[in-house]
Amino acid sequence: MFIPHESATDLVALIHSGDLTAVEVTTALLERIERHDASLQAMLRVDNQAALAQAEAIDARRRRGEPLGSLAGVPVAVKDNMCTRGEATTCASRMLEPFVPPYDATVIGRLREAGAVVIGKTNLDEFAMGSTTENSAFGVTRNPWDPERVPGGSSGGSAASVAAGFAPLALGSDTGGSIRAPAALCGVTGMKPTYGRVSRYGLVAFASSLDQIGPFGRSAADVAVLLETIAGHDPADTTSVDVPVPRYSESVSRPLENLRIGWVKEHFGAGIGDDVAAAVREAIRTYESLGASVREVSLPHAKYSIAVYYVIAPCEASSNLARFDGVHYGMRTDEAVMRAELDDERARLEKAGDERGLADMDTAMVRLYRKTRAEGFGPEVKRRIMLGTYALSSGYYDAYYKRALQVRRLIREDYDRAFAEVDMIVGPVTPTTAFRLGERVDDPLSMYLFDLYTCGANLAGLPGISLPCGFDGQGLPIGLQLQAAPFEEEKLLRAAHMYQTATDWHTRRPELA
């Protein structure tokens, strides 16, 4: 038995039976992180003592004969944009470097109740804005399959940690593809649940109407266990929906009969890599061989989804991130330096007799805001704040935000029509496999196009799952995306499990240096 490659479900069984202790599991994984994370940088913070203390508590419960939770002793890595009480939660931003929340996110509370061990916080693009995890203020995460390549983003640290065997499970957040895309690039299984399926309370908001927390694992069966743990209505999040949570972990192994799958022509148009297209087509044939019927469906407004997404998400972000102003928490610019700067400016203007300049000078308060935000945010975050602020401005609101909301509804209606005909839409997750670090950092537009196949599900509020369906010529994983109607997570998990029973792509592991 090699603990870092064991599934969460097997680990739970072994811990329940007493064949393995939670401390043994956590120790094995901490050692693996210790050995390999210096080069991967998937983890932002790992507190060995705290992780072992959680594991010891689980073992103590077992010794006392107390009931154990569904994830007893299973280490879970958590994206560092979910609040953990008494522990830093930085969103990979200088702005929140000093921030220690006095509360747990609802999902963290549910993990703790289930007996999971929060093993560490994972790297991400700053405030979850990005597709490569290169926008982190604290270092670049590398893809375990090829350390010269990106792991995808923004939940790159969570995806890489599961691929690298640092934890069997991880939590990510998905606003435009931020779980599904890194899952594809790192060769793991990741799901974005229906909007409202999982509480957002304690998730530092990027774009509130699109953000959703979801699970990573190395199989659909493991993802099912984690989703079951975190899903469900939360009175603290009124956008979470009060719909019963099925026992995903029990139903996941039941194959679907008479499965109707649809594919979308636009998913195979310009921009998609040949290897990706071929692997996805092969996966569709696999479903056919498993008894599914296949037909083409149309999503005529899908081509607008990137444009709509890059209006709505920055608008909401510009407002959500306005609170980071140096007044209440997080970082604040050096006030002594700021005051000296203002004094110099004033002296210079007085000397020049520039009355107008003096009248226009920032107050100390305004300069505090300006400098704090200039120093605290990275370039991608600033870019999106500016985009959103512009689009919401008086005179532009109707042309951008309001129009985007209208097209968003059309996109949702496309999906509604499609799901009247098929159970699932099957397609690619990303246009290509993992690209090289630094390759697109100066080309935000091509970076944004990486969300082409994923952001539709966020705009429509649908669940989507990403699972491995092959490798390209360079040995890099390719992802397959399944999307379904709202609250059909169970269908997606069962369909993914069917595929993983018929194929072994998900069992491949990268060799770490």
Question: Where along the sequence are the contacts to other proteins (CB under 8 A)?
Answer: 82-83, 89, 91, 96, 99, 101-103, 105, 200-205, 207-209, 235-239, 315-316, 318-319, 322-325, 327-330, 363-365, 369, 389, 392-394, 397, 401
Q: How far is the CB of 195 from other proteins (least distance, A)?
A: 10
Q: How far is the CB of 238 from other proteins (least distance, A)?
A: 5
Q: Which of 70, 79, 305, 491 is catalytic?
A: 79
Set 178, 199, 219, 318: catalytic member = 178
Bridging pattern class, strands 477-483 and 464-471: antiparallel
Q: How far apart are CA 280 and CA 5, in angstroms?
A: 26
In the set 70, 93, 131, 154, the catalytic residue is 154
Q: Which of 299, 261, 274, 301 is nearest to 482 (CA)?
A: 261
Instruction: Examine the residue annotation and report whether 305 is marked as an active-site residue of this protein.
Output: no
Sign of the alpha-carbon dihedral angle for 318, 323, 327, 329:
negative
On the CB side of 423, CA atoms within 13 Å amount to 19
Contact between 206 and 384 (Cβ < 8 Å): no
Asked whether the beta carbons of 284 and 481 are under 8 A apart, the reply is: no
In degrees, rounded to 5, the angle at the alpha carbon of residue 469 between the alpha carbons of residues 308 and 289 is: 110
- Gap between the Cα atoms of 442 and 40, Å rounded: 22
Is the CA virtual torsion 404, 440, 150, 120 positive or negative? negative
Q: How far is the CB of 241 from other proteins (least distance, A)?
A: 10
**Residue 13 or residue 327: which is nearer to other proteins going by CB?**
327
Nearer to other proteins, 24 or 335 (CB): 335
Residue with tokens 């699972």: 467
Kind plus residue range of the DSSP H or E element containing 216: strand 212-217
Closer CB to other proteins, residue 238 or residue 474?
A: 238
Torsion of CA 351, 356, 359, 364, to 10 degrees: -60
**Does 491 qualify as catalytic in the annotation?**
no
Residue 334 vs 443, nearer CB to other proteins: 334
477: which DSSP letter? E
- Residue number with CB closer to other proteins (103 or 268): 103
Q: Between 401 and 450, name the residue whose CB sits nearer to other proteins.
A: 401
Q: How far is the CB of 371 from other proteins (least distance, A)?
A: 14
**Shortest gap between Cβ of 328 and other proteins (angstroms)?**
5
Task: Name the token pair of 327.
Answer: 């007044």
Instruction: State the minimum distance, in angstroms, from the CB of residue 366 to other proteins.
Output: 8
Residue pair 120/95 in contact by the 8 Å Cβ criterion? no
| Catalytic residue set | 79, 154, 178
